[in-house]
Amino acid sequence: MNERFTPEEKKELQETLARIYKSTPYFQTLPCRVIDFDRGEVRIDFPVEERFCTADGTASAGLMTAFCDTLMGFSSRTCGYRITTLEINMNYVRHARVGELLHGMGTVVNIGEDTLLTEAVIHDDEGRLVVKSRASFYILEKPEKQ
């Protein structure tokens, strides 16, 4: 995944990701902000809002799973694949609390014939690891040029 986008390719993909984000009702509930991306990786920030937390003010596990799935799904889109999640593994290292800004990175680890393997890491503003996740995705559609 070391191949970089040309400025034109990056602009086109940025427009595609924005279109996907705006046209998918599910994404409208998540206040994600794409910070940067390149082929096989994406960086997204996510503010922990009260509406996503448990009664004790910590981000719910479901929210963290959704954020990781978004990170890993978007990283596969940067390679031109349309995918669906097969399985996801979550390792929670520490709680995230209301008001924290989380910084996530999704990365494509391997591209097989029918599946992609990805991983995501989420850190807090102090650089502490919050979550590490891995997922496999079934390839629904491959990019036109490979």
The full set of domains in the chain, from first to last, is 7-141 (3.10.129.10)
pLDDT at 120: 99
Task: Provide, rounded to the nearest whole percent, the portion of the chain with pLDDT above 70.
Answer: 97
Q: What predicted TM-score, i.e. pTM, was given to this entire model?
A: 0.88
Question: Residue 86 pLDDT > 60, yes or no?
Answer: yes
Structure tokens, 84: 């669906």
> For residues 101 and 125, is the Cβ–Cβ distance under 8 A?
yes
Euclidean distance between CA atoms 64 and 146, whole angstroms? 32
State mean pLDDT over 72-91: 95
